[in-house]
A and B are shown apart, each in its own frame.
Chain A
Amino acid sequence: MISLLSHIINGALSGLLYALVAMGFVIIYRSARVFNFAQGEVVIVGAFLFWTFAQYLEFPLWLSLILSFAISLVLGLLIERVVLRPLVGEELFALVMVTIGLLVFIRGLVLVIWGADVHFVPPVFSMKGIKLGPLMLDRGLVYGALMTIGVAILFSWFFNRTRLGLEMTAVAEDHRIALSLGLKVKRSIAVAWAISGALCTLAAIIFVSGKGMTFVAADIGLAALPVALLAGLESIGGLILAGLLIGISMGLAEHFLDPVFQGGVGAVLPFAVMIIVLLIRPTGLFGWKTIERI
């Protein structure tokens, strides 16, 4: 019973972390209608940047945090300007392929700069667990989950109530019409990528603080895709629910099915969920575009 509870709660916390990464996807999709497959790699770049400042150069924690956020913001802008600006208006397939190319490219870049060894990231949150009855919860994950919820509410408000947010939403609907109405399309897209870069770093720091990591941790990006999809690619608030659902179901799968299948179910479950979602309701729980169907 306790272990079931532990799996559920930890699953929920992990799910919210995935939701944070997925938030990066959704924000970009909401503004630029581009699905950024390279999101996981940007997360790992954020993590490595933090490692460079905190562990390698041994800057104080607050300085490392600020620098990491700043640089990943710039990285987001850079990607948008160099890679995606020339492709505005191109067909879907080109955009898909270019982000996949970006995925491979950034992975290579990470390997060149930081190598494939294990890197240990100093803890940002205290290592003491949070006690919840007989269970101990990872403090970093709990704070991360709270931050995810907070950020989601913040961006929900931003996109639905503020002028800039509404502009960005309008740009997402149709670039050309937005342009004809005088909205600044390029600026919206740039802002979206920048925010997404910063969010990636936040997720990265929560994910790796206090742990050793290698470049393989970038797979978190692929694992967060199902969360984004389940929420519907335009809904930020929906990410919370989607993250919880997927996280809890992963936890349940780990508890009940892993012994049966000798492991591995937890990892493949989100993808199975994703396939089902795509077949039954491609717009996800809260998305607003209708996918053209036959």
Chain B
Amino acid sequence: MRKRVLIILGIALLSVVLCGVGQGFAGVTKYKVPVISDFSGSWAQLFKAWIPIHKAVFAWWNDTEGKKMGVELELKHYDGRYDSSVIASMWPGILSECKPIIALGGGGADVAALQQRLPKDLVPVIYGTPTYGYGWLPDQWLFMVRPLYVQEWLGALMWFINQHPEKRPVKVAFLSCQIAAAMDIVNGVEKYINEVLEPKGLAKLVAKEFTDVNPVDASSQVKKVIDAQSDIVLGIATPAMASAYIRACEMYKVNIPTLASPHHTIWPFGKAMKTYEPFEGHLVVAAHAAIADKSGNAYAFFKILIDKYGLNDELWSPSSMMALTQSVLAVRAVEHAIKKVGPEKLSGQAVYDAMFAAPFTQEELMYTLPTLEFTKDAPFCNKNLKVLIETVKNGKYVVATPEWVPTPTDVKKW
């Protein structure tokens, strides 16, 4: 018994030593990049796809640009459980353990936990999710690859208005629930419609309905939307609401198109129902490359990651795109910083300054995003915003706008 214990201890000791030794082979400057993930919280499902994408993109960069510049970025994933308390208690440890020059964020929970303290901690954090109105503050150390949901949706709305065969104000309806985030988007769009579009006779808000987050039945609300002869419905933010909406539409034998973000409606339902038919004519919009388009440059980049860095084709989805764009921006940000201060002197401050110093071109971002130019008045790129719109046509999920569509530039805070 004693001998066995000794042998086990010996092996353990040996492995610890070997691990330590393995770390010693450098030659490049290594930096650790913490990633606030969610392994055991409410969005773990999403992050399961994100983690391999982060790793693949960073591995790709290490092998290409990183090698040329003598820098290696090492990812370290942390489980934030999508819970601000956990993230808040973890962050001091992350700071001391990684001394990060840049970090990848998860979503609303870490924004809540970290936003206030980042200017003092001097760590820029990159996010792949779109921004909510309450994130629109100046002088932030957070960077979102996508602009506000409101701006994206308004871009699509403007396109829809221009496309509309009849020349009359487009009737817009909201179908929302009481989740803070959804309400935020609805308020923003409503303000824009009332202040800008209605005076110009372009659009009109005709119905504003609310359902439960998990509605048993939404047919009363949908009936009101139908009676108001709405042309398009905005605000559906959960799968349950989308289900209830489609069900009600089928019952009343109408098909009023909805507008949402790709990960809200068409994609998850297409996967679940194995058909896109109920969503014929509905729209989704995002300020990144189109998922429906597998022939574009963004997919070509993804293909490289599939072939050489272990990703698989099934991962190509709206949520993966968020991880993809986030990682690509992060590596390019580090790259810009290296060009300014050199590979040895990277710091959070250096990367932060590099974010504003020069725009990130579409080519650099591997065509997953349009050209981004960050300024200090907002955590997202507030200039030359462009979006891509996808829809379902003849049962197929296709891109509605092959070229980037500009969004309105006069969106004010609400």
Given contact pairs A129-B252, A137-B219, A254-B220, A211 touches B243 in the complex (Cβ within 8 A): yes
CB atoms of A263 and B216 under 8 A apart:
no
Cβ-neighbour of B45 out of A17, A115, A128, A136 (below 8 A): A115
**B216 proximity list for chain A (CB < 8 A):** 14, 17, 141, 207, 220
The distance in angstroms between the C-alpha atoms of A219 and B177, with both chains bound, is 15
A258-274 at interface with B (beta carbon < 8 Å): 258-259, 262-264, 266-267
The distance in angstroms between the C-alpha atoms of A217 and B273, with both chains bound, is 18
Residue B70 is within 8 A (CB to CB) of chain A in the complex = no
Residue B98 is within 8 A (CB to CB) of chain A in the complex = no
Q: Which of B44, B219, B220, B248 has the most CB of A within 10 A?
A: B220
**A120 proximity list for chain B (CB < 8 A):** 269, 272-273
Contact with B along A209-245 (1 / 0, CB 8 A): 0111110110110000000000000000000000000
Cβ-neighbour of A267 out of B44, B178, B220, B224 (below 8 A): B178
Residue A119 is within 8 A (CB to CB) of chain B in the complex = yes
Q: Which residue on chain A has the smallest CB distance to residue B250?
A: A127
Residue B208 is within 8 A (CB to CB) of chain A in the complex = yes
CB atoms of A251 and B212 under 8 A apart:
no
CB atoms of B219 and A138 under 8 A apart:
yes
CB atoms of A138 and B217 under 8 A apart:
yes
The distance in angstroms between the C-alpha atoms of A216 and B212, with both chains bound, is 12
CB atoms of A220 and B272 under 8 A apart:
no
CB atoms of A13 and B240 under 8 A apart:
no
CB atoms of B269 and A212 under 8 A apart:
yes
CB atoms of A10 and B217 under 8 A apart:
yes
A165-222 at interface with B (beta carbon < 8 Å): 207, 210-214, 216-217, 219-220
**B219 proximity list for chain A (CB < 8 A):** 6, 10, 129, 136-138
**A255 proximity list for chain B (CB < 8 A):** 220
Given contact pairs A6-B220, A263-B177, A258 touches B273 in the complex (Cβ within 8 A): no
CB atoms of A214 and B210 under 8 A apart:
no
B120-178 at interface with A (beta carbon < 8 Å): 176-178
Q: Which residue on chain B has the smallest CB distance to residue A18?
A: B216
CB atoms of B45 and A264 under 8 A apart:
no
CB atoms of B178 and A263 under 8 A apart:
yes
CB atoms of B223 and A3 under 8 A apart:
yes
Residue A96 is within 8 A (CB to CB) of chain B in the complex = no
Give B216 Cβ to nearest chain A Cβ, in Å. 4
**A138 proximity list for chain B (CB < 8 A):** 217, 219, 247-248, 251
**A219 proximity list for chain B (CB < 8 A):** 213-214
The distance in angstroms between the C-alpha atoms of A96 and B181, with both chains bound, is 34
The distance in angstroms between the C-alpha atoms of A120 and B276, with both chains bound, is 12
Cβ-neighbour of A214 out of B227, B240, B247 (below 8 A): B240
Contact with A along B41-72 (1 / 0, CB 8 A): 01011000000000000000000000000000
CB atoms of B239 and A212 under 8 A apart:
yes
**A259 proximity list for chain B (CB < 8 A):** 208, 210
Residue A118 is within 8 A (CB to CB) of chain B in the complex = yes
Contact with B along A11-49 (1 / 0, CB 8 A): 101100100000000000000000000000000000000
Contact with A along B321-356 (1 / 0, CB 8 A): 000000000000000000000000000000000000
**B238 proximity list for chain A (CB < 8 A):** 216
**B248 proximity list for chain A (CB < 8 A):** 138
Q: Which residue on chain A has the smallest CB distance to residue B242?
A: A212
Cβ-neighbour of A7 out of B220, B242, B268, B269 (below 8 A): B220
Residue A117 is within 8 A (CB to CB) of chain B in the complex = yes
Given contact pairs A118-B272, A263-B177, A264-B178, A251 touches B220 in the complex (Cβ within 8 A): yes
Given contact pairs A129-B252, A138-B217, A216-B214, A6 touches B223 in the complex (Cβ within 8 A): yes
Give B271 Cβ to nearest chain A Cβ, in Å. 7
Residue B183 is within 8 A (CB to CB) of chain A in the complex = yes
**B88 proximity list for chain A (CB < 8 A):** none
Q: Which residue on chain B has the smallest CB distance to residue A217?
A: B214
**B212 proximity list for chain A (CB < 8 A):** 266-267
CB atoms of B178 and A212 under 8 A apart:
no
CB atoms of B217 and A14 under 8 A apart:
yes
Given contact pairs A136-B252, A267-B178, A10 touches B220 in the complex (Cβ within 8 A): yes
The distance in angstroms between the C-alpha atoms of A217 and B215, with both chains bound, is 9
**B214 proximity list for chain A (CB < 8 A):** 216-217, 219-220
Residue A135 is within 8 A (CB to CB) of chain B in the complex = yes
Residue A276 is within 8 A (CB to CB) of chain B in the complex = no
CB atoms of B210 and A212 under 8 A apart:
no
The distance in angstroms between the C-alpha atoms of A212 and B211, with both chains bound, is 16
Residue B244 is within 8 A (CB to CB) of chain A in the complex = yes
The distance in angstroms between the C-alpha atoms of A266 and B213, with both chains bound, is 10
Residue A116 is within 8 A (CB to CB) of chain B in the complex = yes
CB atoms of B247 and A211 under 8 A apart:
yes
Give A147 Cβ to nearest chain B Cβ, in Å. 15
**A210 proximity list for chain B (CB < 8 A):** 247
**B223 proximity list for chain A (CB < 8 A):** 2-3, 6, 135-136
CB atoms of B224 and A3 under 8 A apart:
yes
For this complex, 15 residue pairs linking A to B, each with C-beta atoms less than 8 Å apart, are A3-B224, A6-B219, A6-B223, A116-B44, A117-B268, A118-B268, A136-B223, A136-B251, A138-B251, A212-B272, A216-B214, A217-B214, A262-B210, A263-B211, A264-B178
Beyond A117-B272, A264-B210: 15 further Cβ-contacts under 8 Å?
Answer: A3-B223, A116-B45, A120-B272, A211-B240, A211-B247, A214-B239, A214-B240, A216-B214, A217-B240, A219-B213, A254-B210, A254-B211, A264-B177, A266-B212, A267-B213
> 7 shortest A-B CB distances, which residue pairs?
A264-B178, A263-B210, A129-B251, A211-B243, A120-B272, A116-B45, A6-B220
